[in-house]
Structure 1
Amino acid sequence: MEAFVLTVKTGSFVATSISLNTSPQMIAKYIAFLENYLGLKLLNRTTRSQNLTEFDKQYYERCLFILGEIKATKTLAQQYSDEPRGNLKISAPVSYGHFNVIPVISHFMKRYPKMSVDIQLNDRYVDLVQENFDIVFRVGELTDSGLIARKLNPYQLIFAASPSYLAQYGVPSVPNDIKKHQCLIYQYVNPSKKDYLWPFTINGKLVHFPISGSLTSNNTLALAAAAVEGLGITMLPESMLREAITQNKLLPILQNFLPPAREVHLLYPADRQRPSKLNIFIEFVLDSMS
């Protein structure tokens, strides 16, 4: 049936033989076997082309259905296999991926050593379908993409600076004080304008204050390192700064004015026949991050 379906699609025994890694003569034998089994001629062939009869068309559709069911049956069996195996292609934002996703993937691969993972860290918007990702972690509000979205723990931004910087320039007590300080600026916050704003929560409302600083970067790891070196105040994810704060290399500030935590979702295609490796990874992430 696979040989018949591919021959209809390609119009050629040669092309079908290449896809199935066999010879054109073997493809002809497969078709002849079907013809003998059915008692009907398939693929009205001439020396230059082949034409589909009405029976061919209906039989082709039935073959597609049957082969689809066979594939679904195999997928079902894989879901009950002892151990998942194969590769997963994953996308996540850079800082979130580094500090939140990589530790979870590490635990996942230790539990399932036959799995391999290709994780791409990038702050640009990733099209899961077009770029052939199995799963995407996305921070921020979602648009209606037709994908399944599972909510994870929120992503909290905090403000921090080194003890040496705060000792020299003072500790800001209210958001308006930020105007007097050197701020370490993440370029993607507002890449097309000269004015940069930081969000603060004041009396339950989100308020933005302009900031300025001598150091700008498109890399959050660089900004975290600069903050530890005493170059200014940074606004970065709590998960990224947690270790430096624990080691007293950074001190959190303005904690009563933190912006609202950002939503985080796990996105994947709405496919009822997802492979077991993907289902297992999804459940592992949800257990670890929600």
Structure 2
Amino acid sequence: MEAFVLTVKTGSFVSTSVSLNTSPQMVTKYIAFLEKHLGLKLLNRTTRSQHLTVFGKQYYQRCLLILAEIKETKILAQQFIEEPKGRLRISAPVSYGHYNLIPVIGRFMKRYPKLNIDIQLSDRYVDIVKEDYDIVFRIGQLNDSGLIGRKLKPFQLIFAASPSYLMQNGVPAVPDDLKNHQCLIYQYVNRNKNDYVWPFTVNGKAVNLSISGSLQSNDTSALAIAAIEGLGITMLPEPMLNEAIKQDKLLPILQNYLPPAREVHMLYTADRQPLAIMKMFIEFVVDTMS
């Protein structure tokens, strides 16, 4: 393929042979081998000139892409041999970043300590191109954004409350029981701040039920602390509450009515050739978080 591409670019078997440090006869053999292997002619040759066949034009464009990938793969291999360097700019939702992503990034950076990672946590929609991010993480169904997506382990929300709160107010048996309870509300979930709903699975179907509560916050960590302090029932990501549940500071409730797990994707642009270190990070995250 290299011989074929160089011959097209230079228009000369001799020039190609010089670049490849071989003979013009060997260049001819390389191209003849390709044509025999493919069963189609690539070049129409005369004693004075040569030009691409219709198939040869299309094959040439594919060869350019393939050879570029091979070159990138060699660079990737070299970076594994050497100590990788570089900078990645990443965006992720706040809670997901804290409890799911940061531990994984920590392990990756311990393996490659010369890396520089800039991770910005925000629950707003981030424009990966305009805001110059290499990778973004998104929770929920994807829109047709033209980005390349790698699917990760789903994001599960759970319900929990402190033993003291449940002892004083009773344990809700079904979602409708929450009408008689204080629910700790994450404000970002709903645009209309006077109408809060939580998702549940009831009889195998996803449903949304209205809830209410005296305490609202745009910070999930504040709501987790409030739940531990006995101020009400919370609905938060499972990794965020696991430690408090292990320590019996919180008790999981309504476990038969958990909402459907939400999809999680790691996204990057399709029109930008990923850096070798970016490819390494993507594969590391997929291996760790799928």
Q: TM-score, normalised by structure 2?
A: 0.73
| Alignment partner of 1:217 is 2:217 | yes
Instruction: Quote the Cα distance in structure 2 between the aligned partners of 1:289 and 1:214.
Output: 36
Q: 2:131, 2:226 → 1: CA distance?
A: 34
Counterpart amino acid of 1:78? I
Deviations 1:1-28 (A, max 9, x none): xxxxxxxxxxxxxxxxxxxxxxxxxxxx
Which residue does 1:270 correspond to in 2? 270
Q: 1:94 to 1:273 in 2, by over 3 A?
A: same
Task: Give the equivalent residue in structure 2 for 1:12.
Answer: none
The aligned runs of 1:239-254 (5 Å cut-off) are 239-254=239-254
SS of the residue corresponding to residue 193 of structure 1 reads coil
Amino acid at match of 1:79: L
Structure 1 residue 80: Cα displacement: 2.2
Correspondence for 1:79? 76
Q: Is the 8 A contact 1:72 1:273 kept in 2?
A: no
Q: Is the 8 A contact 1:181 1:232 kept in 2?
A: yes
Equivalent residue letter for 2:118: D
Please give the root-mean-square deviation of Cα atoms over the aligned residues, in Å: 2.1
Q: Distance in 2 between matches of 1:250 and 1:227?
A: 7
Unpaired segments ≥5 residues, structure 1: 1-70
The 1:72–1:226 alpha-carbon spacing in structure 2 relative to 1, beyond 3 Å, is: same
Which residue does 1:192 correspond to in 2?
Answer: 192
Q: Are 2:116 and 1:116 equivalent residues in the alignment?
A: yes
Per-residue deviation, 1:76: 5.1
Partners of 1:203 and 1:195 lie apart in 2 by: 24
Partners of 1:147 and 1:272 in 2: CA distance: 10
C-alpha change, 1:73 and 1:174, in structure 2 (3 Å) is: closer
**Aligned residue number for residue 39 of structure 1:** none
Q: Is the 8 A contact 1:226 1:232 kept in 2?
A: yes
| Distance in 1, Cα, partners of 2:226 & 2:272 | 47
The answer to whether the 8 Å contact 1:75/1:273 transfers is no
Superposition pairs for residues 43-192 of structure 1, below 5 Å? 75=72, 77-81=74-78, 82=81, 83-192=83-192
What do the CA deviations read for 1:72-131 (whole angstroms, capped 9, x no partner)? 897555312223211100000000000000000000000111111000000000011111
Q: Is the 8 A contact 2:187 2:193 kept in 1?
A: no
**Matches of 2:280 and 2:211, distance apart in 1:** 44
Amino acid at match of 1:181: H
User: 2:183 aligns to what SS in structure 1?
Assistant: coil
For residues 174 and 255 of structure 2, the distance between their equivalents in structure 1, rounded to whole angstroms, comes to 10
Identity of aligned residues (%): 69
Partner secondary structure for residue 184 of structure 1: strand
Matched residue count: 224
SS in structure 2 opposite 1:236?
A: strand
| 212-221 or 187-196, larger mean C-alpha shift | 187-196
Distance 1:177 1:110 in 2: 47
